[in-house]
Amino acid sequence: MHINETRHSLPQLMQILTPESSRTMPWVNGLGNTLEIATDAHSHHGQSDSWTWRLSVADVPTRADFSKFPGVDRWIACLHGDGMSIERSSVWTTLPISGEALSFAGEEIVTGDPIGPNVKDVNWFLRRNRWQGGMRVHRETGSTIAEGEIVVIHGVSASAGSTIRCEGQSIKIATGHTLITSARVIIESDPESVLIIAWASAR
């Protein structure tokens, strides 16, 4: 699904992806699978790894080394389950479950270890020579703002009380749906909602 496609009569440079747009992709290291939620890969008419940005959610059933992504900056947070720890340079860190995601370089040697069953993590990937940005998991009541040349908002659990204000419109995102836009976005949500918010601007 490329960035120029529009749906649901939204303004140009804005689209909503349905759950059917996601696809399951094997890990680069062959140890698991990832649900690819949104990417610009198809806009480059290349192979599946031709993306310059990518948002995905992965099941982490057991301890495993991360795949390496040279030239890529990554952000990661724990989305479901009791938590997840990662090892970097012999130091263990517990991933955030809310707020700003942990950032690291795709070249790093990283090991992930889930705490209990049914752990999922969310990952935001940006080609370092093209983009700078960030990601957060929004579980709080109230408003937050995201702004960038690319803003991706995914409804993990989107209640009727969550509203996204963008380009003068009020947009509701259902659970499993994803908004992609290039604008200043105001997100208003309640405690029943869990949203992934990622953004990027050109270097």
For residues 55-70, average pLDDT: 92
The third-level CATH classification (topology) of the domain covering 21-130 is Jelly Rolls (2.60.120)
CA angle 49, 197, 188 (to 5 degrees): 155
Please tell me if the domain spanning 21-130 has the same topology as the one spanning 133-202. yes
Q: For the chain, which residues make up each domain, given as ranges?
A: 21-130, 133-202
What per-residue confidence (pLDDT) applies to 188?
86
195 or 5, greater pLDDT: 195
User: Does pTM top 0.75 for this prediction?
Assistant: yes
pLDDT, greater one: 183 or 83: 83
Is pLDDT above 70 for 135?
A: yes
Domain 133-202 has CATH 2.60.120.10: yes
